[in-house]
Structure 1
Amino acid sequence: MRARHERWQHSSAREICVCVDDFGLHRGINEAVLALVGMGRVQAVSAQVGGPAWSAGARELSLLDPQGVDVGLHLDLTECPLQAGIRMPLKEAIGRAYAGRLNVAQLRSEIRAQFDAFEDALGRAPAYVDGHQHVHQLPVVRSLLVQELLLRYPERNTGRMPWLRNTRGPSRKAHADWGTWAKAEVIAALGSRALALLAQRHAVAQNRRLLGVYDFSGDAQAYGRRLWRWLGAAENGDLLMCHAGLSTGQADPLARARFIEFSVLGSLEFAERVAFKNIRLRPMHQILESR
């Protein structure tokens, strides 16, 4: 492990993956994601299969080259799950998970249904799995998720097992302020270590760390400053999460932040900064295979 770490640290370029979450939630997100993919600015797309715009956008996702873009399942229990009865606010999901009060049979059924919906629409397994609002790492959820992966994809020893998002964050210096560093720490504390141990036990790969956590406030200049700090702190194998989108007039509490992210990620300055900081953007499955 140490030798691998040293090899990564001394490579000529740092390799990271930029991932857009929430594809399928509404048309504006779908359009923004596909535009950024076309520009080569993102290399992973997290699909919310219960989202209102999933069916309309799934065909376009199915046409993307799986070698060039990782399309993953954005496991959702808090906004648009397939079984309406399982939907719960994030705070309730966290509380019930840690109190051991989740309905295991219902949760297992929901996880399977979301995998089925993804595979039916794209004709292939997801390249990875993460969670809407990071629910994939919660107690019980993470165990059922890994069980489902092992049941569905026994060919994992040939390298075809989907990878799992690790929410472990970078050090304080990677964040523009203490508040967003604290938010990143809270997210990681909700299950990143336990999920990592479970993944290691079953030889399921993960990204190194998660960049991109913030409170969705500020203008384009503020987001740009955050982004440059994340890029500066990035290490090989890191995942940079974003929530880009275009406005559609639909109710979306993140609409302004989504448009700002889209504008900054789609800018020439972003491409120049990536090159200046000696970063190579690649799908995570390629980075993991090169370890």
Structure 2
Amino acid sequence: MTRSIRLIADDYGLAPGVSSAILDLIERGRLTGTSCMTGFPEWEEAAARIRPFRRRAAVGLHLTLTDQIAATGSSSLAPEGKLPGLASLALPVRRGRIEERDIHAELDAQYDRFTEALAGPPDHIDGHQHVHFLPAVRNWLLVRFGGSAHKPALRGAPGLAGLDAATKVAAIATLAAGFNRSMQRAGFNVMTPLCGIYDWRQPQKFTSTLRAAVDTLPEQGLFMCHPGQVDDVLRARDPMQGAREVEFAVLSSEDFGASLERAEMRVMDGKV
């Protein structure tokens, strides 16, 4: 009996080369869908390109609170209009240096940009650098969707990992502590376990990470990936570059298609 694997590409909208690579993989049937970053000036154009795929692919929102330009401009979250790094985001939030209302305003703006450009809500929600696990973002999810009968699916906590990624997985799992249970209790569908975590500074590890997911990931789980093609916009916005091209090459390859056939698996399509 054929099983399904859910593959979701992060960062649609980050740069034209990233968006083009993701659309290519969706057309090939190699991705279940993607998560969109809506805060960039090119978002309207990127949204127009992915709009025709909404019936065949899961299109979600990739909440972004780190390193990029804030959709809401200057605030306690982004004093100079730029979102902070993850290390300086998490602890100040807990100490009250960043006002939760400013975080919620930024998330509202990103969500509204998604719904306006794509004429409807996201199929799922996750976070750039896993920020959806932060307490302030959990609160936003509960406030924004608490009374809604149709809640977006959420990316859940990571599962077990090999020794290569154990430290990274442990750090993410600590950030995600209690997330699955609390969100499921609130009525959200939580996609778990999360897989696809590896050291992207060693892109050669992606193939083995993907192979392990094909062999072991349950259907309720999710494999996140970051395929792309490097362009000048990406170079200016994000340090993850070479690994994106490796991931794109692997996911688009005949070898990957053959590995799915051997494992009697298919890439899940449609809504999550």
How does the TM-score come out when normalised to structure 2? 0.89
Aligned mates of 1:44, 1:198 — CA distance in 2 = 25
Counterpart position of 2:80? none
Aligned: 1:62 with 2:56: no
Specify the alignment match of 1:30 in structure 2.
19
Question: Could you tell me the percent identity over the aligned residues?
Answer: 30
Q: Output the CA distance in 2 between the equivalents of 1:50 and 1:28.
A: 17
| Correspondence 1:184 to 2:184 | no
C-alpha contact 1:24 1:55 (8 A) present in aligned 2: no
Aligned pair count reads: 261
The CA distance in 1 between the partners of 2:180 and 2:93, in whole Å, is 18
Distance 1:232 1:41, change over 3 A: same
Say whether the 8 Å CA contact 2:8–2:31 is kept in structure 1: yes
The one-letter code sitting in structure 1 at the alignment partner of 2:198 is Y
Cα offset, 1:127, TM superposition:
0.3
Question: Judging changes above 3 Å, is the alpha-carbon distance between structure 1 residues 95 and 276 closer, same or farther for their aligned structure 2 residues?
Answer: same
Offset from partner CA, 1:89-117 (integer Å, 9 cap, x none): 10111212343543121112112111110
Q: After TM superposition, give the deviation of residue 201 of structure 1 in Å.
A: 1.7
- Greater alpha carbon shift after TM alignment, 194-203 vs 71-80: 194-203
Specify whether residues 284 and 35 from structure 1 end up closer, same or farther in structure 2 by C-alpha distance, changes over 3 A only: closer
Is the 1:14–1:279 contact (alpha carbons within 8 Å) kept by the matching residues of 2?
yes
Match in the other structure for 2:123: 127
Q: Does 1:244 align with 2:227?
A: yes
More helix by share: 1
- Asked whether 1:115 is paired with 2:111, we answer yes
1:268 maps to what in 2?
254
Tell me which amino acid in the other structure corresponds to 1:242. Answer: C
Distance 2:166 2:57 in 1: 29
Query: 1:284 & 1:211 partners in 2: Cα distance?
Result: 20
Per the TM alignment, residue 52 of structure 1 is displaced from its structure 2 partner at its CA by 4.0
The alpha-carbon deviation at position 234 of structure 1 amounts to: 1.2
1:7 matched to which residue of 2?
A: none
Q: Which runs of 5+ in 2 are unaligned?
A: 78-82
Query: Does the 8 Å contact 1:26/1:52 carry over to 2?
Result: no
Alpha-carbon shift at residue 202 of structure 1 (Å) = 1.3
Contact 1:17/1:284 (CA < 8 Å) preserved in 2?
A: no
Distance 1:196 1:97, change over 3 A: farther
In 2: Cα distance, 1:197 partner to 1:105 partner: 25
Which residue in the other structure is 1:76 paired with? 64
